[in-house]
Amino acid sequence: MTGQMMHNGANPTTDPALWGAVLALHLLGMAIWMGGSTYALFVLRPSLALLDTTQRNSVQLQTLKRFFLLVWYAMPVMLVSGWAMEAVPMGGFGNPDWHIQAMQGLAVVMAAVYLFTFFGPYRRARRAMRPQPATFDRIRSLVTLNLFLGAIVVVIASLDHVF
Ligand code: HEM
């Protein structure tokens, strides 16, 4: 009965098609961000040892530029879709569910780490005549930190899933 009513669009605040689409955006944003981090850390970076220093720096700068551009889209999509789900179908920001609060808190830390990486070591690397390996190491550590936080959030979110 409730499902019927929702499918007819009578109650958009809980319409499963609408909020399913918002959840899909949320998960796609997460997949792009975490998948990109995984690829950068575990696939691309070990392969860079094949290149000489100048080529390695150029490839790192190019690939980071493209990856960070994707995160500029994925991150807001994930945050806004998460807040939208919390605010409307889940009844508001006062939601006492610790899973949602932890997801939100860690997501804000992840966004801060990303902004710090972008405007700190990444910008330094782009502006340098000869970027130092230490700068790329710093970027790698920060991307690793965010991947780790993202993995914790996925575990927390999964614990909240109703089977
Ligand atoms: C502002 C930040 C965020 C808010 C407010 C938020 C909120 C939400 C809400 C309300 C749901 C639906 C939960 C349900 O249907 O029971 C959800 C699902 C989910 N979120 Fe987030 N989220 C945020 C960030 C993140 C981040 C950073 C990640 C991972 C990197 C993430 C991963 C997930 C996953 C995997 C689910 C699916 C859970 C399931 O199917 O049961 N979220 N989120």
pLDDT tens readout for residues 98-123: 999 999 999 999 999 999 999 999 99
Cβ-based neighbours of 61, under 8 Å, separated by 6 or more: 125, 126, 131
CA distances from 131 to 37, 40, 55, 64, 146 (A): 21, 18, 12, 13, 23
At 124 the three-state DSSP class reads: helix
List, run by run, the mean pLDDT of 10-residue segments along the chain (163 residues).
Answer: 44 92 98 98 96 96 98 98 96 91 97 98 96 96 98 96 89
Q: Considering only CA atoms, which residue is closest to atom 16 of ligand 1? A: 161
pLDDT at 1: 31
CA 49 to chain centre: 27
Whole-angstrom Cα distance, residue 155 to residue 37? 17
**Cα angle for residues 141, 72, 24 (degrees, 5° grid):** 100
Best CA proximity match to 28, nearest among 66, 70, 68, 78: 78
Buried b (16+ CB within 10 A) or exposed e, 59-86: ebeebbeebbeebeebbebbbebbebbb
Distance, CA 116 to ligand 1 centroid (Å)?
A: 23
pLDDT at residue 11, rounded to an integer: 83
Taking a C-beta distance cutoff of 8 angstroms, is the pair 15, 6 a contact?
A: yes
Give the nearest ligand 1 atom to 107 CA: 27
Half-sphere exposure of 34 (CA within 13 A, CB side): 17
Distance of CA 106 to the CA centre of its chain: 11
pLDDT value for 50: 94
DSSP 13: T
| d(CA 152, ligand 1 centre) in Å | 12
| Ligand 1 close to Cβ of residue 79 (< 6 A) | yes
Domain spans of the chain? 2-159
Interval between CA 26 and ligand 1 midpoint (Å)? 7
Give the nearest ligand 1 atom to 89 CA: 10
